Amino acid sequence: MSCSLQFVGNATMVLRFDGITVLTDPNFLHKGERAYLGYGLTSARLVDPAFGVDQLPRLDAVLLSHLHGDHWDRVAERRIDRSLPIVTTPKAARTLEHRGFAAAEGLETWASTTLHSGRSRVTITSVSGRHAPGIAQAFLPPVMGSVLEYRPDGGDVELRVYITGDTLLVDELRQIPRRYPSLDVAVLHLGGTTLPGGLVVTMDGDAGADLVDLLRPRTAVPVHYDDYGVFKSPLSDFTAAITRRGLDRHVRYVRRGETFEF
């Protein structure tokens, strides 16, 4: 079995499960270019991605946690193959279908879809996520977390990967370890993203460490923490919180361009 995560930047990763390759949250803007976050709000990218969209491998699908400019940018809009399956929220799928991405598939929470290659299977299940507190949810796009379960021969699950999406640490996340008590990899979207007025819409370092404590995955991988100016909680916040909780053995830090083999 050969499975890996290659970190491109922000929340963009290339996940390989033997013959099945999935791209997450494609964001290929370069340093200095601005991501559009809605309602006239933009944020400049501070760090280049590890490589460009032209250097992607052959893809079987895109997994999109939500339709925000730092997760699906104008480069993705222009350059991603419009026939490629895009697994995302129902609202994002409807928008992408109107833009010509005919294979966009929207999943309600706890609904699943399966990718196939030979006898290998990767089942993607949408799980709970909340991008903003209270009534502020109405002003941000719906977000989903996701669990990817790999079956190399169509039989039992050999590997289980959880991706948080841009969520806060909310009570709904407690359902995830109940349904999936054994997680091999948990990818955490961090950054403490803070919008004008002080509205925090993603986990900061402390919340990320709390989630690792709740999930106890074999390995946690932090992403989404320093690419944009709206990120106010640096990776060092998470590292310090993990150390205080004695959870260092659960965390793997993956640099841009680096590949982590599961």
pLDDT (tens digit per residue) in 167-183: 999 999 999 999 999 99
| Intervals of the chain under pLDDT 70 | 1
CB 159 within 8 A of CB 191: no
- 174 CB neighbour count, 10 Å cutoff: 12
CB 87 within 8 A of CB 102: no
152 vs 161: CA distance, rounded Å: 14
The pLDDT score that the predictor gives to residue 144 is 98
* Candidate CATH numbers 3.40.50.2000, 3.30.230.10, 1.10.1200.10, 3.60.15.10; the one for domain 3-253: 3.60.15.10
130 vs 128: CA distance, rounded Å: 7
- 105 CB neighbour count, 10 Å cutoff: 17
The pLDDT score that the predictor gives to residue 1 is 62
Domain ranges for the chain: 3-253
225 vs 111: CA distance, rounded Å: 28
The pLDDT score that the predictor gives to residue 119 is 84
- Encode pLDDT of 10-67 as tens digits: 999 999 998 899 999 999 999 999 999 887 889 999 999 999 999 999 999 999 999 9
